[in-house]
Amino acid sequence: MRRTLMITAAAAALVMMGGGVANAAIGWTVQTAPPPADSQQTVLYGVSCTSAANCTAVGYYRSGGGGLTLAEHWDGTAWSVQTTPNPAGENVGSAYLDGVSCASATSCTAVGEYGNPSGSAQYPLAEHWDGSTWTIQATPRPKNSAHAGLDAVSCPSATSCTAVGSAGAEHWNGTAWRVEATPVAAGLKDVTWNGISCVSGPSCVAVGQSGNSASTTVTLAEQRTGLTWSALPSASPGSTWNALTSVSCRTATSCTAVGQYANSSGPGLVLAEHWNGSAWTVQTTVNPGSGGSASLESVSCPLATNCTAVGSYVTRAGVTATLVEHWGGSEWRTQRPINPPTYPHRYLDGVSCAKATGCTAVGWMQPRSGALVTLAEAN
C-alpha cells in the first residue's frame, strides 16, 4: 500500500522558501467523492483523467475488517463509486488499489496489492475497466519476493501497460502480464519503484529509491527502451534521505520527477528533477516556511513546460495541509488548494492534468476523531 513520505524532523529548523512565490490566481475547488455505502474509512491514492469530464480515481475502503478495492468515476458533474472485485479465498486479507492509468474512457488499468490475513506476504493486483465492468487480471508474482505490491502503472495504449512496485516491473501486452528485470547497481538494497511514465509501449521511465552502503536512501531512475531496462543516474541532494515518488514524461527526453529529500539537521524538503535525455538535474522548488516536513507525491505534465505536482506538509500548528506546486517552464510556484477546516490533516496523493489549465487531485483527510475520508479537488 502506498504511503506518504513525510519525514519527522530531527531538528525543527525553519524551512525557508526557495524558487517562486505563491500564486493564488489558479483556483482549486473541492469536489465531493462519496464513499461506498458500507464504508467505515475511505482513501484515494491515484487518479487518471482522459478529459476534464472523465477521471477515474482509485484507493481502498474499510468495511468491518480489512481493506477493499475502491474506484470512483468523475463524469464532469459528480463522482460516483464503481463496483470493483476483490481477490477471493481464505488466505486473502486486505486489498488496495494504488495507481491507475486510462488509455481511453473505456480502458483503464489499476494496480495495487493484496495480502494474506497476517500481513506477512503481499501479492500484485491488477484490474481493468472496459467501459462497463472492472475485472481482475492475473498477475505473476516475482520469485523470491515476499512483498510484491504494485504502486504505479502507465498505459500509453489499451494493449500496453507497465506497472512498478516493491519487487520491480511488470508489463501487459494486451493478453497477459509478465515480470520484467529491472537491474540496479551493486551495493543497493531495499529497492522500491514508486512511479512510472510511458510515452509509448517500449519507452518508459520509472523512479523510486534504494538504500546504499553508506546507509543513505538515494533516488533511483531507470529507462526502458524496447525490452531492456537501464539505469538513469539521478540526483540525491539530501545527506540522509532521497526518494522519487512520481514521474511524468512528455517525450523520451523530457521527464519530470518529484519526491522528497532530507538532511540530518532538518525536516523533509520537496524535490523535483528533470530528465533531458542525457542527465537529471535538480530544479529549485518551493518549501513552505513551516518548520515541518514537506513532500511531493505525484506529478502530471500535460506539456513539457507545464507540470503540476501535489503533496502535503506539516504546518507550524502540527497539522497536515495539502501542497500544490506548478512548473511553468522556468520555475516552480505554489498554488493554493483548499484545506477543509474541519479536518486537521489533509493529504493529496495523486494528480492528473487532462490539459494545461485543468487538473484533478485526490487524496484523503483525517478528522479530529473518526475515520479517514476522501479528498478530491480540481482547478
- Report the C-alpha gap between 221 and 231 in whole angstroms: 6
Which of the given ranges, 7-11, 19-23, 249-253, has the highest pLDDT on average? 249-253
166 contacts 206 by C-beta, under 8 angstroms = no
Average pLDDT on 179-194 reads 90
- pLDDT-derived band at 1 (thresholds 50, 70, 90) equals low
User: Could you read off the pLDDT of 87-140 as tens digits, one per residue?
Assistant: 987 678 899 999 999 999 999 999 999 988 777 788 999 999 999 999 999 999
Amino acid (1-letter code) at residue 145: S
If you average pLDDT over every residue of the chain, what do you get? 90
Residue 246 has pLDDT above 90, yes or no: yes
Average pLDDT on 162-174 reads 94
Residue 15 has pLDDT above 70, yes or no: no
Give the Cβ contact number of residue 137 at 10 Å.
16
- Report the C-alpha gap between 367 and 5 in whole angstroms: 20
- pLDDT-derived band at 11 (thresholds 50, 70, 90) equals very low
Q: Which residues contact 107 (CB under 8 A, 6 or more apart)?
A: 128, 129, 130, 131, 155, 158
Q: Delimit the domains of the chain by residue range.
A: 23-378
User: Could you read off the pLDDT of 48-89 as tens digits, one per residue?
Assistant: 999 999 999 999 999 887 899 999 999 999 999 999 999 987
Average pLDDT on 24-39 reads 86
Residue 194 has pLDDT above 90, yes or no: yes
CATH architecture of 23-378: 7 Propeller (2.130)
Residue 9 has pLDDT above 60, yes or no: no
Q: What percent of the chain has pLDDT over 90?
A: 77
- Residue 358 pairs in a beta bridge with 355
Residue 289 has pLDDT above 90, yes or no: no
Residue 3 has pLDDT above 60, yes or no: no
1 contacts 98 by C-beta, under 8 angstroms = yes
Amino acid (1-letter code) at residue 184: V
Which one has a higher pLDDT value, 42 or 186? 42
SS3 content of the chain, % helix, strand, coil (to 5): 0, 60, 40
- Report the C-alpha gap between 258 and 255 in whole angstroms: 10
- pLDDT-derived band at 20 (thresholds 50, 70, 90) equals very low
What pLDDT, on the 0 to 100 scale, is given for residue 364? 97
Q: What percent of the chain has pLDDT over 70?
A: 92
What pLDDT, on the 0 to 100 scale, is given for residue 132? 97
Coil/strand/helix, residue 120? coil
Residue 169 has pLDDT above 70, yes or no: yes
Residue 4 has pLDDT above 60, yes or no: no
User: Could you read off the pLDDT of 303-345 as tens digits, one per residue?
Assistant: 999 999 999 999 999 999 999 999 999 999 999 999 999 999 9
Residue 12 has pLDDT above 90, yes or no: no
What pLDDT, on the 0 to 100 scale, is given for residue 5? 53
327 contacts 300 by C-beta, under 8 angstroms = no
Overall pTM > 0.95: no
What pLDDT, on the 0 to 100 scale, is given for residue 26? 61
What pLDDT, on the 0 to 100 scale, is given for residue 141? 87
